[in-house]
């Protein structure tokens, strides 16, 4: 079985400061890891993914995430937060097995960026 | 930029009634998915669909659920006899078939309320 843990329900950060949203995962075999963002009354918007290769992946809106295999983590980061980054962030994992594409999501972390 | 669309945005129904939720996936995508999110809970995988058949389903996707691709553009989720616990946000997603690394793109969701 695969699972994702997002240990923080909410992260508060001041505008201009760096932000980190934490994610750890469990999956059989190699993981494919994803971050999605959800704005109020909107769907899940893809931010970035790790499939293979470079452990640091860059995505939309200046976000990046670092894959750490030994710690089974995939934390989302941004060097300088914007008020407009305030939203609900979901980490998701799936196995690299070709026949199984189901994503397992974490419970989400609400990011609040204060002006 | 192509998007997944879903209709209706909101649906209210009486317990025991049938509902059909509709989705138009991104046009060149061949994998389709349904997920749901009960209020305050995680996003959960229901089913994936490829080449006119179910390729994977979760334990949630029991006999009261069915999916169909009735034409070249729509993808539907039918709940035959709704229960109170079916109240949730239902998300449709689609992905292409570029290897197995494809990203799932989500629609805005249909909020279903069963009374």
The encoded tokens of residue B72 equal: 């070249």
Tens place of pLDDT per residue across chain B (115 aa): 778 999 999 999 999 999 999 999 998 888 999 999 999 889 999 999 998 999 999 999 999 999 999 887 899 999 999 999 999 999 999 998 765 567 999 999 999 999 9
Tokens found for residue B31: 């994998």
Provide the 8-state DSSP code for B102: P
Is residue A29 less than 8 Å (CB to CB) from chain B?
Answer: no
What is the chain A residue with the closest CA to B104? A46
| Topology annotation, domain B5-114 | Immunoglobulin-like (2.60.40)
Nearest CB partner across the interface for B43, out of A99, A101, A105? A105
**Which CATH architecture fits A3-114?**
Sandwich (2.60)
The residues spanned by each domain of chain A are 3-114
How many CB atoms sit inside 10 A of residue B64's CB? 13
Please report, in angstroms and rounded to a whole number, the separation of the first and last CA atoms in chain B: 37
Give the max Cα distance, chain B: 43
Look up residue B90 and give its two tokens.
């239902």
- Identify which of B6, B42, B102 has the shortest CB distance to residue A106: B42
Q: Which residues from chain B sit within 8 angstroms of residue A42, using beta carbons?
A: 108
Pairing relation of β-strands B10-13 and B110-114? parallel
Please report, for chain B, the start and end positions of each structural domain, with discontinuous segments joined by +: 5-114
Task: Encode pLDDT of A34-50 as tens digits.
Answer: 999 999 878 899 999 99
């Amino acid at each position: 079985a695969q699972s994702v843990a997002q240990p923080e329900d909410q992260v508060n950060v001041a505008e201009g400061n760096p932000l980190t949203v934490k994610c750890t995962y469990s999956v059989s075999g190699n993981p494919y890891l994803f971050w999605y963002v959800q704005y109020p009354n909107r769907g899940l918007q893809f931010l970035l993914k790790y499939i293979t290769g470079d452990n640091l992946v860059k995505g939309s809106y200046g976000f990046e995430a670092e894959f750490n295999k030994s710690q089974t983590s995939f934390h989302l980061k941004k060097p300088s937060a914007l008020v407009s980054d305030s939203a609900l962030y979901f980490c998701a994992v799936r196995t690299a097995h070709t026949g199984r594409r189901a994503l397992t999501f974490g419970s989400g972390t609400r990011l609040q960026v204060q002006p | 930029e192509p998007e997944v669309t879903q209709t209706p945005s909101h649906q209210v129904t009486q317990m025991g009634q049938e509902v059909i939720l509709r989705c138009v996936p991104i046009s060149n995508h061949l994998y389709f998915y349904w997920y749901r999110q009960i209020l305050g809970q995680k996003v959960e995988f229901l089913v994936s669909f490829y080449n006119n058949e179910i390729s994977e389903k979760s334990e949630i996707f029991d006999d009261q659920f069915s999916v169909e691709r009735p034409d070249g553009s729509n993808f539907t989720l039918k709940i035959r006899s709704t229960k109170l616990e079916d109240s949730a946000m239902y998300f449709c997603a689609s992905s292409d078939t570029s290897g197995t690394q494809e990203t799932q793109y989500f629609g805005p969701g249909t909020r279903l309320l069963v009374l």
